[in-house]
Amino acid sequence: MSSEIPVKQIDPSSDTSDNNKNTGTVELYASRKKIYVKGVKKGFFQRIRNVSLTALMGMYFLFVWFTVDGQPLIHFDLPAREFHLYGTTFYPQDFILLSGMLIIAAFGLFFITTLFGRVWCGYTCPQTVWTFIFMWVEERIEGSRNKRMKLDKAPRSVEKIAKKSAKHSAWLLIALATGLTFVGYFYPIRELITDLFTLQANGWAYFWVAFFTAATYLNAGWLREQVCLYMCPYARFQSVMFDPDTRVVSYDPNRGEPRGGRKKGIEPSELGLGDCIDCGQCVQVCPTGIDIRDGLQYECIGCALCIDACDEVMDKMEYPRGLIRYTTENELEGKTSKLMRPRTFGYGLVLALMVGAIIFTIATRVPAQLDVLRDRGALFSFNGEGRVENTYTLKVDNMSEVPQTFTISVSGLEGIRLLTENTLTVASSENRALPTVVDVAPENISESNNAIVFTLESQSDKSLVLETESRFVGPNR
């Protein structure tokens, strides 16, 4: 049996879309249309963002300067392979904790996204936070949306050059402060600033400060929504976490349509209209330039500026607020929405388990480590007393914030003796190797290969006890 796929001949000249009007070809590239975002001065969600933005920026710029017991509050010391976090030092051996924290962050994001959509993007994502700061600076210097559009269209003038120079200088200053602060989490900030300005810093410090300054300036000043639309993978896969009960920023078409202009004081029903007066305010304030009335779109970062803008319009029109609001697909269809459902329960359960596991791991973390290496060059030897000797190297890491002096002991065979040092002092964040010799009387050795245990007990912290097993080799029996 054969089948034929019908093929339709397309005449390119008949295509009248914008892309194809002149050439008959489809352009895969669309040049960016600059978005002039109208500032939202007041509104509930704008106030929430102002608080979150101030808190996050405050933490970012201040934490780098704080110290606890002489140690930086947060410092990633890559050359020493130490990570100082809130008074605790972590080492590469603690990598499992870092992995656990990343898993918690991922499941936390899934959990919140399933419940409330892209609140991370709208209120806390660094791209959003810095873009909003840059937009705020732009509005202070160049003026409102209309003034900025006029300024861009105006021919070159002293005023235009002065305003543009001031804006870019301010952006660059913020970007430089951001870059310096970021590098300051890896290179103590006070030393970094001194070394940079006295030309004592190494080349990588200059490179990374310049890199993060340029990245901040370009991403928040120039690329803005392009980062969210084309570079951020989260925007692309967030929809798989949404379901009809996810609470997202939505326009209520049942209430708003048919849209249309009218004077204040006229009831919409008198004109056969819905509550949307088609003023376009929700579009003008949108940092990604979309129209939320077209439905949920991947470009929407959930910033809720359109809610604040529309609520202001509703207040002026004396209509109830909430034509654009946080709601769910089910609620818009008149159904009830559930907060907890299998998906949120699953993410929440994994999140709770991971948080519990991390708390348990940190609470039971031993801030020191003992490794015992047996000397493989000689199996055993007899000493002057006729006893059997074995040689080891004890390697001790002190991961606590204070020096530790350990008392060393060995057990496992009757009459086993330690012939070398029985104490060892290791400074904070250091490791030491100690050659060690133990002996046993031949009559107490029943096997050629015997288990023994080295024990190190801290003299200042009795709860800090390290035990590691090794082998003691004797003559064949």
- Per rule CB under 6 A, is residue 301 in the interface with ligand SF4? yes
DSSP conformational letter for 320: P
Neighbours of 103 (CB within 10 A): 15
How many residues bind ligand SF4, per CB under 6 A?
Answer: 30
Of the candidate residues 174, 205, 229, 249, the single one contacting ligand SF4 (CB under 6 A): 249
Please, what is the minimum distance in Å from the beta carbon of residue 426 to ligand SF4? 55
Please, what is the minimum distance in Å from the beta carbon of residue 338 to ligand SF4? 23
Q: Which residue, 141 or 282, has its beta carbon nearer to ligand SF4? A: 282
Please tell me the distance from the alpha carbon of residue 181 to that of residue 162, in angstroms, as a whole number.
28
Which of the ranges 8-16, 178-186, 237-245, 299-307 carries the binding residues for ligand SF4, by CB under 6 A? Answer: 299-307
- The DSSP code sequence of 39-62 is PP---HHHHHHHHHHHHHHHHHHH
CA distances from 146 to 38, 142, 215, 308 (A): 8, 10, 28, 20
Which of the ranges 22-30, 306-314, 334-342, 350-358 carries the binding residues for ligand SF4, by CB under 6 A? Answer: 306-314
Please, what is the minimum distance in Å from the beta carbon of residue 405 to ligand SF4? 60
Q: Which of residues 57-76 bind ligand SF4 (CB under 6 A)?
A: none
Binding-site string for ligand SF4 from residue 205 to residue 244, where x marks contact by CB under 6 A and - marks none:
----------------------------------------
Return all residues near 371 (Cβ < 8 A) that are at least 6 apart. Answer: 394, 395, 468
Q: Which residue, 281 or 400, has its beta carbon nearer to ligand SF4? A: 281
Copy the structure tokens of residue 453.
Answer: 């245990």
Return all residues near 261 (Cβ < 8 A) that are at least 6 apart. Answer: 277, 278, 279
Please, what is the minimum distance in Å from the beta carbon of residue 354 to ligand SF4? 30
- The DSSP code sequence of 330-351 is HHHTT----SS-HHHHHHHHHH
| Per-residue three-class SS string for 372-439 | EEECCCCCCEECCCCCEEEEEEEEEEECCCCCEEEEEEEECCCCCEECCCCEEEECCCCEEEEEEEEE
Q: Which residue, 155 or 272, has its beta carbon nearer to ligand SF4? A: 272
Copy the structure tokens of residue 137.
Answer: 């600076």
Helix, strand, coil percent content, the chain, rounded in steps of 5:
45, 20, 40
Which of the ranges 23-31, 156-164, 300-308, 410-418 carries the binding residues for ligand SF4, by CB under 6 A? Answer: 300-308
- Per rule CB under 6 A, is residue 305 in the interface with ligand SF4? yes
Please, what is the minimum distance in Å from the beta carbon of residue 22 to ligand SF4? 32
Place of tokens 């003299």: 459
Q: Which residue, 323 or 368, has its beta carbon nearer to ligand SF4? A: 323
- Per rule CB under 6 A, is residue 290 in the interface with ligand SF4? yes
Of the candidate residues 178, 219, 288, 470, the single one contacting ligand SF4 (CB under 6 A): 288
Q: At what angle do helices 158-184 and 126-142 cross, to 10 degrees?
A: 150
Which of the ranges 108-116, 234-242, 301-309, 418-426 carries the binding residues for ligand SF4, by CB under 6 A? Answer: 301-309
Q: Which residue, 149 or 279, has its beta carbon nearer to ligand SF4? A: 279
Q: Which of residues 314-343 bind ligand SF4 (CB under 6 A)?
A: 323-324
Task: List residues near ligand SF4 by CB under 6 A.
Answer: 249, 251, 256, 259, 276-282, 285-288, 290, 292-293, 300-306, 309-310, 313, 323-324
